[in-house]
Chain A
Amino acid sequence: MMAGNRISFEVMRYTFIIAALAIFLIPIVWMTTLAFKPVAEWTTAISEITWLPKNPTLGNFEFIFTGQTDELIITMPNTATMPIIASLVIASLGTLIAVVVGTLGAYGVSRFQVGNNLPLSVLQLRLFPPMAVMIPVMMMWSYLALVDTFWGLSLIYGIVTLPFSFWLMKTFFDEVPREIEEAALVEGCSQWRVFYRVTLPMVKAPLATTVLFVFILNWSDYVIALLLTRKDWVTIPVYMNSLNSAMTGEMYGSKAAIGLIAAIPPVVLGIIIQKHLVRGLTFGALKQ
């Protein structure tokens, strides 16, 4: 009886997961194959669409990294190299700012009954459609000479994603039982040491989730980067959007190629973080 249930549960589990994966993968598979398709196979607005590349080519990658390829009669002066570096630097730094500031702030609010204004103010920051505040931010960044610098963009990313790290971390800190911390305090640890050595390791899994999510948000932002960069620190999404040409209109193949490359850092981060998520299993046990 129990065994039968177990098997039917396993069957259901695999069916459901595999169905979900199949659907989830369609756009990703399309992007991957598109990245290797020549111009004539890009569009699906014709009667014979191409599923797998008929004439696979590396031309799309060649184009974004060298600005030219045999198949296209056009050239492009800016390549993807700098945008990739810019995105890596800016998204990482922005994530660092958001997570460090947010985690500290969340712990402070969660434990010490200070900063009672913060939960709402921080939330306000994120409730806003960024578009509606970008004009004053643009002016301010311009006055502070922050436009088109990596620190300027990192700073705004740190600020706009702060609400996530703050709120996620606050939620998880609230969940951590005080008994363990109190025990440590009784043993003579300082408050800071308790936070750093006792509490923080317990919220590793949520922290990892937060890092991943904040990084992805920073990594994929388009609107802010569009307005706060000019040429030196253009990020991947802005670069990707500028990939269009007189010859082909939107350059779907090249966009897919940069999209494929752009998926690598978050995926790598996701894999690193996965380890911590498994470890997070012990989190519950600690609570009791």
Chain B
Amino acid sequence: MAQRKGKRITRRRALKAGAQGLALTSAIGIAPKYLISPARATGLASGMTGGPTGFDGAERFQYNEGMSEGRAVEAAKKLKADGKAGKITFLLTQGAVGQFEQPFPDGAPTVRSVWEAETGIPVEIIPAGEVEIIPKVMQDITTGSGTYDIFTGPWNAVGDKVDANGIVNLDEFVAKHRPDWGDSERGTPTPEMENLLYKYNGSYYTISIDGDFQTWVYRKDLFEDSDNIKQFEDTYGWTLGHPRTWKEVDQIAEFFHGKGVPQCNLIGPFWGLAIFYARFAGQDNPNFYYFDEEGNPNLDTDLGIKALEEHVNLKNYSARDALSWSWAEAYGAMGQAEGLMMSTYTNLRKFNDRYNADGTPATPATGKLGSFLPPGNTFGDDLIRRSCLYYNINAEISAQSEHAEAAYLFMQWASSTRTFSWMSGNPGGYFDPFQKANFAEPLVQQTYHADHCAIIEETIARSAPTINFAGQGAFDTKLDEQIQAALVGDKTPAEAMKKAAKDWRRIIKKRGETRMIDNMNKSRANWPAIIDKA
């Protein structure tokens, strides 16, 4: 245990980063008493029956039978007593294991150990790389081997797993154990988001443990530099600041690209889809859907082609190798303070805008990053700002699990607002906050920065879904290829979109038109409704 010490986020370090955090925290209305809470003795707060202990603020993550976590624990204990619960095998994406296995903060137990201690049901975590997880899950489902009780994987793949009969419909469990996922005070920022993150085709199937809402991060130091502001105003006639439209994003990108600072948006295969979907969704008021009501792809419409033209234009201001970059390169460039801005997973600032245990800046970008709301398009007085939900690790219960209910209860416990707030503050993994309670949590604000949290919450409210119907992999791959063909200049945007639409029609036909159209129209209810003032 001793050797782990250097790795924990120490209180000392947290306080150093906290001065600015404190001011912002108060500004957005979090009771500051949490931050100055007295050192507590270990043990549960009064009225609480479970939860982590042993560190400052642990009481914020404790619960009793009246709360989602407590209900899960009590029900699990009962299952265990009835002999209906055994070891839970948990296939987990590699990058998130730390959040279950690494103590946070100092003196805290691990998330897994709290569950095991309270319920007596052991959890075995089997890590798998992100690229391997779909092959592993499909291997398990199609061979009927039932190795895992819980799958994790991209939210987008939920439709595939439902159609493969690989996962359990959770409606019954949800009704019985009442998780607080959609709680108006503590749960998802909007009711649409609960439907989006947990339901498929109207039923509960999947449990969100991540918040991959693409959020813009930029170089505050460059935007606030007085020379830059002046020069920019002379050139473009408006004051350099948070862009509101894609056009303004392009102007800012053009300006700084001329100064040798490129945008870091990922535009290569897979990664580039997210920003394209976000741009696409904001092409119409209130939303530009991927399909019309008869199930025809909107890709090759005028607006769809315009979206791709704009997307291709992005390349002009991006880093030279952007087409081949992955996460490592883009995060690296932002972290080395060599990039301008990017729309990406929210943990960019968690990892790059932080201090080492000894108080020194962890990267050259520490303290230089800010966030802004997704840009959009204006329609008269309306401004449609759109981001999107892309990838996002969700958990599902395997249809072959012998202890489906116990496995579900573990996930309900881990994904409920108290446990998840505790977990998402932990820098040891990449599960990002997305619940109201997470953003209000001081530990999360320390890791993610309070100003960033406020922006993320607003970004979530403006996020469109990406594709998660059965056949998602095929939809995304076919579109991605055409986008790439347009980016490298092999095809014009119009040609590319035409081919992508053709490919999409073929997939729809193959998967069954009636069913697909039903899925599409049902998913429309999950699109954001927020309209900003232009």
A–B direct touch, CB within 8 Å, in complex?
yes
On A, residues with C-beta under 8 Å from B are 40, 42-43, 45-47, 68, 70, 73-78, 138-139, 142-143, 147, 226-227, 230-231, 238, 241-250, 252
Q: Which of B129, B326, B430 is within 8 Å of A241, CB to CB?
A: B129
A68 to B329, CA, bound (A): 22
Interface stretch (choices B141-149, B288-296, B404-412, B481-489): B141-149
Contact B101 A70 (CB under 8 A): no
B97 CB contacts on chain A under 8 angstroms: 75-77
Known: A45-B319, A70-B6. A40 touches B98 (CB 8 A): no
Contact B128 A75 (CB under 8 A): no
Q: Which of A46, A75, A243, A244 is within 8 Å of B333, CB to CB?
A: A46
Interface stretch (choices B132-140, B272-280, B307-315): B132-140
A74 to B321, CA, bound (A): 28
A247 CB contacts on chain B under 8 angstroms: 351, 427, 430
Contact A75 B102 (CB under 8 A): yes
Contact B329 A242 (CB under 8 A): no
B189 CB contacts on chain A under 8 angstroms: none
A74 to B144, CA, bound (A): 34
Contact A238 B132 (CB under 8 A): yes
Known: A74-B98, A226-B135, A246-B347. A43 touches B427 (CB 8 A): no
B128 CB contacts on chain A under 8 angstroms: 242
Interface SS of chain B: helix, strand, loop or mixed? helix
Q: How far is the CB of B197 from chain A (nearest CB, A)?
A: 19
Contact B102 A242 (CB under 8 A): no
Contact A76 B102 (CB under 8 A): no
Question: Nearest chain-A residue to B144 (Cβ)?
Answer: A142
Q: How far is the CB of A226 from chain B (nearest CB, A)?
A: 6
A244 CB contacts on chain B under 8 angstroms: 94-95, 129-130, 327-328
Contact B126 A230 (CB under 8 A): yes
Q: How far is the CB of B365 from chain A (nearest CB, A)?
A: 11
Q: How far is the CB of A247 from chain B (nearest CB, A)?
A: 5
Given contacts A244-B95, A246-B95, 10 further A-B contacts (CB under 8 A): A45-B325, A68-B4, A75-B7, A75-B101, A230-B126, A241-B131, A243-B129, A244-B94, A244-B129, A247-B351
Contact B333 A226 (CB under 8 A): no
B338 CB contacts on chain A under 8 angstroms: 46-47
A226 CB contacts on chain B under 8 angstroms: 132, 135
Q: How far is the CB of A117 from chain B (nearest CB, A)?
A: 31
Contact A74 B428 (CB under 8 A): yes
Considering the complex of A and B, which 7 residue pairs feature the smallest CB-CB distances, nearest first?
Answer: A246-B430, A249-B328, A242-B129, A249-B327, A142-B143, A45-B329, A43-B332
A230 CB contacts on chain B under 8 angstroms: 126, 136, 147
Listed A/B pairs (5) with beta-carbon separation below 8 Å: A147-B143, A231-B126, A238-B132, A244-B129, A249-B328
Q: How far is the CB of A37 from chain B (nearest CB, A)?
A: 13
On B, residues with C-beta under 8 Å from A are 3-4, 6-7, 9, 94-98, 101-102, 125-132, 135-136, 139, 142-145, 147, 319, 321, 325-333, 336, 338, 347, 351, 363, 427-430
A139 CB contacts on chain B under 8 angstroms: 142-143
Residue of A40, A47, A68, A246 most packed against chain B (CB within 10 A): A246
Interface SS of chain A: helix, strand, loop or mixed? loop
Contact A75 B132 (CB under 8 A): no
A74 CB contacts on chain B under 8 angstroms: 95, 98, 102, 427-429
A242 to B147, CA, bound (A): 19
Contact A245 B95 (CB under 8 A): yes
A231 CB contacts on chain B under 8 angstroms: 126
Q: Which of A75, A248, A249, A252 is within 8 Å of B98, CB to CB?
A: A75
Q: How far is the CB of A237 from chain B (nearest CB, A)?
A: 11
A230 to B89, CA, bound (A): 12
A106 to B491, CA, bound (A): 51
Contact A246 B429 (CB under 8 A): yes
A68 CB contacts on chain B under 8 angstroms: 3-4, 7
Residue of B96, B331, B347 most packed against chain A (CB within 10 A): B331
B336 CB contacts on chain A under 8 angstroms: 40, 46
A220 to B9, CA, bound (A): 38
A76 CB contacts on chain B under 8 angstroms: 94, 97-98, 127
Question: Nearest chain-B residue to A231 (Cβ)?
Answer: B126
Q: How far is the CB of B432 from chain A (nearest CB, A)?
A: 9
Q: How far is the CB of B208 from chain A (nearest CB, A)?
A: 17
A249 to B129, CA, bound (A): 11
Contact B427 A45 (CB under 8 A): no
B125 CB contacts on chain A under 8 angstroms: 77
Contact A242 B7 (CB under 8 A): no
Contact A242 B325 (CB under 8 A): no
Residue of B4, B147, B328 most packed against chain A (CB within 10 A): B328
A43 to B339, CA, bound (A): 14
A142 CB contacts on chain B under 8 angstroms: 139, 143-145
Q: How far is the CB of B136 from chain A (nearest CB, A)?
A: 7
A78 CB contacts on chain B under 8 angstroms: 127
Known: A73-B427, A244-B94. A42 touches B328 (CB 8 A): yes
B145 CB contacts on chain A under 8 angstroms: 142, 147
Q: How far is the CB of A77 from chain B (nearest CB, A)?
A: 5
Q: Which of B96, B144, B321, B329 is within 8 Å of A249, CB to CB?
A: B329
A39 to B94, CA, bound (A): 18
A177 to B22, CA, bound (A): 87
A46 to B94, CA, bound (A): 26
Question: Nearest chain-A residue to B129 (Cβ)?
Answer: A242
Contact B329 A43 (CB under 8 A): yes
Q: Which of A70, A77, A249 is within 8 Å of B326, CB to CB?
A: A249
Question: Nearest chain-B residue to A240 (Cβ)?
Answer: B129
Q: How far is the CB of A116 from chain B (nearest CB, A)?
A: 37
A238 to B127, CA, bound (A): 12
Residue of B130, B131, B329 most packed against chain A (CB within 10 A): B329
Question: Nearest chain-B residue to A44 (Cβ)?
Answer: B329
Contact B94 A242 (CB under 8 A): yes
Q: How far is the CB of A135 from chain B (nearest CB, A)?
A: 8
Residue of B97, B338, B430 most packed against chain A (CB within 10 A): B97
Q: How far is the CB of B417 from chain A (nearest CB, A)?
A: 22
A202 to B332, CA, bound (A): 56
Known: A244-B94, A249-B327. A45 touches B333 (CB 8 A): yes
